[in-house]
Chains A and B, each alone.
Chain A
């Protein structure tokens, strides 16, 4: 089989068709609950696809103008909003209907039906295939990546993937009719609501699919293959401070997300090795070192209006220094430790390098600056940095907050490694005094946990200090709350407000006075 996107979706659909033959009516309630949870997983994935391709506007990605009318201003935005609400509601109801996932024994897990999980896996593989055409920030790497930014192709993804909701609705309907009405009236009602909502989803998807452009897009989409391995990336231009700030915050988000997932799902991916967590700790320390250097640099060159606020920066400097020291102590704790396995390529290492390099490139003019280049190089032009001060200082606050979560999660993961005896002290000492490799002594373990606690506290304090600075600089935090609101309830009006606020923030970053925001607030009555 050749690897084309359409084939993976077809494979997922055929697995779901096989699910028609599951003996749902004549099996136990535990079996039905297992299948219900599998269907809920599938709906969650469909919802993630819908949010990514149907709603997330392309112009949130840095350094690109929107390629066409964004979803918020598209003529069918009301339809998309209805689709999103119905799908989200269906996913929520299905989760609520079945409560916590059943605790299966190893044998039961082995015997559980696999059609729906196989469908999820096939669909994920197809989406991964599309993702090879963009970099982790969503910027296109190939012509296909550029095409995937067009509204037609994004809608085609939506239509192609959400067509699977039909089979899911059938499956949920069968689950509902097989559930005993005497003991599970509430569940039957919830499952009925799920089927209704999925019906609405299908109706909206059919309406979206009627567009001839989308039909053409779907044909083109089916033949997308993964990016060829040795294809060179298009050359990148140097990023502006605002883009770097946003990118660094996104890196920190992903770093925290990877660790959170590992904590939630059980650490079987081997991304969190001793060397990866040690490197992440060093990079966190370096982020605080760079934060201090950045603010010192900005304070020297900022215009008088801004530098008045930078008095609060000097107060915050101690907090950042404390955080740097705390993370360095964590790294020192990791130095004599090794885990099994230890040197696998790790997403944690890669993301933490990306984070610190971006923060460094805020300060240093070299667009390919790496941490081992050190402090020596020429720094960025002061007016550039000062103009984007609100953007990157808020990004640094976000990063600090994420590092706090990272400290908590890595502490849990380290405990887990030690519990499963995968964490060892390296052999050390000369000649007769040589100590062989040995399990982690209790004292070392307690020390590591304590250092993570203090790093978490210090990061929280640093985030607070940065929040003070950020508020002194007048960054509009309510814009972010609106973003969040938009993600949960996609109200087209809220989308308009976010677009307005975003352009106002861009104006402010370009050195304009932030009055437009206030004027717009009055005009819109926010």
Chain B
């Protein structure tokens, strides 16, 4: 199920134009919200960074247009899927940065450029969350 979802995201990221990557980025942000809450609840990894990831993902998701028809299955990403999630977030960052330069619609280009920055923050936060459990020393 999870693998199938990642495959679909990869397919949408590879679509020509900007709509596919935008809806893939929205799905990634949406999943990151749930993943970060689960990571904080399970005391997996760096809990504080998980809360930070949640906030970044909320911001990213609110900023991107919610897709009407793009499928958004409620996958149950496990903590270990975080690494792939981060990779996909970075992939979306690169894909949108490229797509922003080719679109002719100014609104879409602006959305993509801001999303690129937020995707970078979110991916970094996911990677920080994945660090082995740490508490203040």
Tell me, in angstroms, the Cα distance from A66 to B38 when the chains sit together. 48
Q: How far is the CA of A379 from the CA of B136 in the complex (A)?
A: 7
Q: Which of B55-87 contact A (CB under 8 A)?
A: 55-56, 58-59, 61-63, 66, 68, 71-74
A320 to B101, CA, bound (A): 49
Q: Which of B34, B68, B125 contacts A372 (CB 8 A)?
A: B125
Given A275-B58, A290-B48, A430-B73, A376–B131 Cβ distance below 8 Å? yes
Residue on A with the closest CB to B64? A343
Chain B hits for A371, CB < 8 A: 48-49, 51-52, 55
Determine, out of B14-22, B39-47, B89-97, the stretch whose residues face the partner at the interface.
B39-47
A434 CB within 8 Å of chain B: yes
CA distance A375 to B125 in the complex (A): 12
B134 within 8 A of A: yes
Q: Of the listed stretches A55-63, A291-299, A389-397, name the one at the interface; the rest are far from the partner chain.
A: A291-299
- Given contacts A286-B48, A343-B63, is CB(A375)–CB(B37) below 8 Å? no
How far is B61's CA from A352's CA once the two chains are assembled, in angstroms? 19
In the complex, are the beta carbons of B52 and A335 less than 8 A apart?
Answer: no
Q: Are A282 and B136 neighbours in the complex by a CB distance under 8 Å?
A: no
B40 contacts A296, CB within 8 Å? no
Interface pair B41/A328, CB less than 8 Å apart: yes
A-chain residues with CB within 8 Å of residue B34 when the two chains form the complex: 335
Taken together as a complex, chains A and B put the C-alpha atoms of A267 and B53 apart, in Å, by: 28
Q: Complex: how many Å from CA A290 to CA B55?
A: 16
Whole-angstrom distance between the Cβ of A476 and the nearest chain B Cβ: 28
Asked if B109 CB lies within 8 Å of chain A CBs, one says no
Contact A275 B48, CB 8 Å, known A363-B136, A372-B128: no
Contacts of A437 in B (CB 8 A): 66
Q: Which residues of A contact B128 (CB under 8 A)?
A: 372-374, 376
Per-residue B-contact encoding for A134-175, CB less than 8 Å = 1, 0 else: 000000000000000000000000000000000000000000
Q: Which of B30, B40, B136 has the most CB of A within 10 A?
A: B136
- Judged by a CB distance under 8 angstroms, whether A254 is at the interface is no
Interface on A for B, CB 8 Å cutoff? Answer: 273, 275, 278-279, 282-283, 285-286, 289-290, 293-294, 296-297, 325, 328, 331-332, 335, 338, 342-343, 353, 360, 363-364, 370-376, 379, 426-431, 434, 437
Measured in the bound complex, the distance between the Cα atoms of B99 and A320 in whole Å is: 46
- Could you say which residues of chain B place their CB within 8 Å of the CB of A297? 136-137
**Closest CB in chain B relative to A428 CB, distance in Å:** 6
- Tell me whether A372 and B121 are in contact (CB under 8 A): yes
Q: In this complex, which of A371, A426, A427 has the most chain B Cβ atoms within 10 angstroms of its Cβ?
A: A371
- Give chain A residues whose Cβ lies under 8 Å from the Cβ of B55: 279, 282-283, 353, 371-372
Q: Say whether chain B's binding surface is mostly helix, strand, loop, or mixed.
A: helix
Q: Which 5 A-B pairs have the closest CB atoms?
A: A372-B52, A374-B49, A343-B62, A371-B52, A430-B73
Give the chain A neighbours of B66 by CB distance below 8 A: 338, 426-427, 437
Q: How far is the CB of A336 from chain B (nearest CB, A)?
A: 9
For this complex, 6 residue pairs linking A to B, each with C-beta atoms less than 8 Å apart, are A275-B62, A328-B40, A427-B66, A427-B72, A430-B71, A430-B73
What residues of chain B lie closer than 8 Å to A342, measured between beta carbons? 62
From A364, A372, A375, A434, contact of B53 by CB (8 A): A372
Q: How far is the CA of A151 from the CA of B30 in the complex (A)?
A: 53
B112 at the interface (CB under 8 A from A): no
Number of B interface residues, CB 8 Å?
37
Q: How far is the CA of A364 from the CA of B137 in the complex (A)?
A: 10
The answer to whether A335 and B71 touch across the interface, beta carbons within 8 angstroms, is no
Binding site for A on B (CB under 8 A): 30, 33-34, 37, 40-41, 46-49, 51-56, 58-59, 61-63, 66, 68, 71-74, 121, 124-125, 128-129, 131, 134-137
**Distance, CA A373 to CA B46, complexed state (A):** 9
Given contacts A363-B136, A374-B46, A429-B73, 7 further A-B contacts (CB under 8 A): A275-B61, A282-B55, A338-B66, A343-B63, A375-B46, A375-B49, A376-B46
The interface centre, meaning the residue of B55, B56, B72 with most chain A CB atoms within 10 A of its CB, is B55
**Given A296-B135, A376-B134: A429 and B125 interface contact (C-beta under 8 Å):** no
Q: Are A283 and B51 in contact (CB under 8 A)?
A: yes
- Note all chain B residues with C-beta closer than 8 A to A363: 136
Residue of B nearest to A327 (CB): B51
Contact of A279 among B58, B63, B131, B137 (CB under 8 A): B58
Contacts of A296 in B (CB 8 A): 135-136
Q: Tell me, in angstroms, the Cα distance from A343 to B55 when the chains sit together.
A: 13
A353 vs B51: C-alpha distance when bound (angstroms) = 11
Residue of A nearest to B121 (CB): A372
In the complex, are the beta carbons of A375 and B134 less than 8 A apart?
A: yes
Q: How far is the CA of A290 from the CA of B68 in the complex (A)?
A: 39
- Among candidates A286, A332, A373, A427, residue contacting B68 with C-beta atoms closer than 8 Å: A427
Known A296-B136, A372-B121, A374-B129; contact A434-B71, beta-carbon cutoff 8 A? yes
Whether B49 contacts A372 by the Cβ 8 Å rule is: yes
On whether A294 and B52 interact (CB within 8 A), knowing A343-B62, A375-B46, A428-B74, the answer reads no
**In the complex, chain B residues whose CB is within 8 Å of the CB of A294:** 136
Let me know if A282 and B51 touch, CB within 8 A.
yes
Q: A398 to nearest B CB, angstroms?
A: 21
Partner of A275, one of B59, B131, B137: B59
B51:A285 contact, CB within 8 angstroms: yes
Highest count of chain B CB atoms <10 Å: which of A290, A297, A372, A437 = A372
- In the complex, which residue of chain A has the Cβ closest to the Cβ of B129? A374
Q: Shortest distance in angstroms between A296's beta carbon and chain B's nearest beta carbon? A: 7
Chain B nearest CB, measured from A424 CB (Å) = 10
Residue contact B58 to A278, C-beta cutoff 8 Å: yes
Q: Chain B residues near A273 (CB, 8 Å)? A: 62
CA gap between A279 and B54 in the complex, in Å: 8
Q: Which residue of B lies closest to A375 (CB)?
A: B134
Chain B residue contacts of A376, Cβ below 8 A: 46, 128, 131, 134
